[in-house]
């Protein structure tokens, strides 16, 4: 074997080892538009893969691949937790969303999505918008998370924030025996679309807030809203948010915010927020548990948005979305109780629940079940 062939074989073996836990990984390249993207399908036991597409200036293809594989696997668990007829998938576009976007790029991306013939449905994520995917719909029907004017469900931050509220109420009930949030104190990290709505709802409920955000305008807006509602609020910096005397820490911004450094400062009774991948590692769930801090697994708390995105394929129905979002409350209580009974972390309890659903479906699946057309794709 020549040196070049040996090198190529080594690279190929490394790639297949890297993607070993995933069903399919597709690299998309369109030189005319500059599109470089990776679509990862983790598991389609429950149905076609569903997951957003994020756009980010990754430093390398390896970094982009690692991110998309991790995110796709997380979507499998999230879809299972939400009891959706979808599997886990995700996509990343390598590029700066502030400089590299174009209508042509997203049309090209839509063509790549369409080439998977319904194995992957996608929509917005970090760095992409609903308007971007309006362009993609010119090339494919496998897009969701669209504006209402295009037949979509609209702003997914509404059910996401409502899901966080159900998570907070379930946690309050587990800790104190009631769902009353009045006079409880919450430390909210991030006042984006979801975090701001959560803060506003907590002020309506009579809660006390600590808040932090990099956007001064968002801080001023929530302070003004608190004044209108006669609420109690204190603005702190991004380091102080971990050191407050709040009852609950509510991360609604970036991931990995609970890590070796920050976990030392937390003295809250619980962590319940919408941010994805809040724990730097699953080992931090055990550290929180040992400190007596109840952790609500993020993919349970924030699945309201996913529920809406999946619901679009049946024809958008806000009442149906909100009804299903209520299941977050009972799901969290079940996870808390199982973790306590079996002396495991809440992350382990949540993963166990999702894996049981996947195993149950695999038992039911036959060749014909796995190749059936989705209900929403059958035309009269």
Residues marked active site are found at: 90
CA dihedral 123, 129, 130, 135 (to 10 degrees): -90
**Rounded CA separation 272/258 (Å):** 12
> Is-contact 124 53, C-beta < 8 A?
yes
């Amino acid at each position: 074997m020549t040196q070049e062939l040996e090198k190529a074989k080594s690279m190929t073996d490394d790639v297949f080892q890297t993607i070993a836990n995933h069903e399919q990984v597709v690299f998309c390249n369109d030189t005319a538009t500059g599109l470089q993207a990776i679509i990862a399908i983790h598991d389609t036991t429950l149905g076609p893969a569903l997951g957003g597409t994020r756009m980010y200036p990754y430093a390398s293809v390896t970094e982009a691949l690692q991110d998309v594989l991790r995110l796709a696997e997380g979507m499998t668990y999230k879809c299972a937790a939400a009891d959706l007829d979808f599997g886990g998938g995700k996509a990343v576009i390598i590029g700066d969303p502030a400089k590299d976007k174009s209508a042509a790029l997203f049309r090209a991306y839509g063509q790549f999505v369409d080439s998977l013939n319904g194995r992957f449905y996608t929509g917005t994520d970090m760095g992409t918008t609903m308007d971007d995917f309006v362009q993609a719909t010119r090339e494919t029907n496998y897009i969701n998370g669209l504006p209402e004017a295009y037949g979509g469900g609209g702003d997914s931050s509404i059910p996401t924030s409502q899901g966080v509220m159900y998570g907070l109420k379930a946690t309050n009930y587990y800790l104190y025996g009631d769902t009353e949030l009045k006079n409880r104190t919450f430390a909210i990290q991030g006042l984006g679309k979801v975090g701001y709505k959560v803060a506003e709802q907590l002020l309506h409920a009579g809660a006390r807030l600590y808040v932090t955000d990099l956007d001064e305008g968002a801080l001023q807006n929530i302070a003004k809203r608190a004044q209108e509602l006669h609420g109690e609020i204190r603005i702190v910096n991004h380091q102080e948010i971990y050191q407050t005397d709040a009852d609950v820490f509510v991360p609604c911004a970036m991931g990995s915010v609970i890590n070796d450094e920050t976990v030392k400062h937390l003295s809250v009774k619980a962590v319940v927020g919408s941010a994805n991948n809040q724990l730097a590692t699953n080992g931090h769930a055990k550290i929180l548990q040992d400190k007596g801090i109840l952790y609500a697994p993020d993919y349970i708390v924030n699945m309201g948005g996913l529920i809406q995105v999946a619901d679009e394929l049946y024809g958008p129905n806000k009442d149906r979305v909100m009804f299903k979002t209520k299941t977050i409350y009972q799901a969290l209580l079940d996870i808390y109780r199982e973790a306590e009974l079996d002396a495991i972390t809440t992350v382990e309890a949540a993963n166990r629940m999702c894996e049981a659903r996947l195993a149950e479906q695999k038992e039911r699946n036959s060749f014909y079940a796995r190749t059936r057309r989705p209900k929403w794709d059958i035309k009269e």
